[in-house]
Chains A and B, each alone.
Chain A
Amino acid sequence: MASDNRTKIEKWLNPIYLQEEIINALKKAFLQEKEFSHVQLQDFFKPEKAKTLAQHLQRAHYQQRYVPDKYRYAKADEIGALKTVQEVFQDAVFRLWLEEITGKKVKGCHMEVVRFVQGDYTLMHDSETPEEGIVIIYDPALPWSAGSGGYEVFTVPEKDPLILQPQANTLTIIGATKETLQFTKYVNSLCKDKKRYCLKVNYNNRE
């Protein structure tokens, strides 16, 4: 079993991210971010995996979600072909790798597959109850126009917000506290009909 799992992350991840000295550097980078513990990993999946994943994200079936004072975006209503990547994020070895970098326990795991088009957004809400844990965001290798919004913003009171522009085949690991609020910036017409696809995984420290 352990060797199967080992194979899974070895099959998917850019091998550089499994090297011990790189993991140590990521660990340092994650902890050194005083405002917001986070680290960004470019060229995250192997090129052929990233390519297939981008295709699967585009082909998934999305359901529109619209609550005007909270959000407007689409969410994949079935995992389908994305099950393989979900299995990577749920993988025990992947979690150990995450725990190693973040120094946090990552147990409960929830993946969301989302799509943003022009006019889509999410808003921060007082009624939100942020949870302590680790959030990972993966942006596929698909083109996105800078300046068209659709980026992720993480905020905590009295600190500069963390702004994450979509970057191709990039995984961002963020440490969330009980005060962390998040929103996705309104996608404006400069996106020229491009769609932003994204995988978001929340890990908490509960069973």
Chain B
Amino acid sequence: MTALKNWLNPAYLTEKKQQQIKEQFAKNKPFPYYIFEDFLLPDKAMEIRKALMTLPFEEKDADLFFFAQTEDLLRTQESLIRGFINFLQSEELQALIATITGKKLAPTIDAFGAVYPPTGYLLPHDDQLEGRSIAYVYNLSQGFKKSNGGALELFSTKEHKPQEVVKSYPPKWNAFVIFEVSPDSFHQVSEVHTNNPRLSITGWFHGER
């Protein structure tokens, strides 16, 4: 249990809480998701934010998005980020995510740092790609108001086609969002209207092949 105890908010360690989250995850609409508020121990969250901001970001500009991304964080030399990646890949956290989502997970993940500059956005897509089972976003933005944009927005679907935004979450400090990747998991990031960097570490837990 060392990995969890060193990183995770202890409120998430009880079996009762985990059972509650599992039920909420399955119940949430428009598709299964859950938001762990105050996910990591407060000091850890701050340290990761600082470490992430020292990494180089490369601008990504296409039809679907405009934002900036770090290198593949699985290859990072930055020791704190390395530690966080090891935590995400730890057997304990994988077991926790598997319990909550009811998914059989492979011991591998993807991880990138992302920062959305002013006018940054990500248009609707479902994230589906071979191997991806559960998507995650660990929010490291501070002081985001609704009017600042950058919200994670979830779409309702009809026959696997996105219809309209039914949930909208402005990025919240130290919140860890997970959702099930499926033909219905359409989501977007609304345009950012602030110089305050919308910072996150994001990726996928892979499924068992």
CB of A183 within 8 A of CB of B186, answer no
| A123-B63, A186-B66, A189-B193 as given contacts; A68 in contact with B124, CB under 8 Å | yes
Hey, which chain B residues are within 8 Å of A88, CB to CB? Answer: none
How many residues of A are in contact with the other chain, CB < 8 A?
A: 16
**In the complex, how many residue pairs between chain A and chain B have their CB atoms under 8 Å apart?**
42
Hey, which chain A residues are within 8 Å of B155, CB to CB? Answer: 68
CB of B125 within 8 A of CB of A186, answer no
Bound CA–CA A67/B123 (angstroms)? 11
Q: Does A188 contact B (CB under 8 A)?
A: yes
Bound CA–CA A123/B66 (angstroms)? 13
Majority secondary structure, B binding face:
strand
- Which of A67, A124, A189 has a CB less than 8 Å from the CB of B63? A124
Q: Does A185 contact B (CB under 8 A)?
A: yes
Bound CA–CA A197/B66 (angstroms)? 23
Majority secondary structure, A binding face:
loop
Tell me, rounded to whole Å, the shortest Cβ–Cβ distance linking A77 to chain B. Answer: 22
CB of B123 within 8 A of CB of A189, answer no
Hey, which chain B residues are within 8 Å of A67, CB to CB? Answer: 161-162
* Closest residue of B by beta carbon distance from A182: B63
- Chain B residues at the A interface, C-beta cutoff of 8 Å: 63-64, 66, 119, 121, 123-126, 155, 161-164, 186, 188, 191, 193
- Chain A residues at the B interface, C-beta cutoff of 8 Å: 67-69, 119, 121-124, 149, 153, 183, 185-186, 188-190
New contact pairs (15) apart from A69-B123, A69-B124, CB-CB < 8 Å:
A68-B124, A68-B155, A68-B163, A68-B164, A68-B186, A68-B188, A69-B125, A121-B123, A122-B63, A123-B63, A123-B123, A149-B119, A153-B63, A188-B119, A189-B193
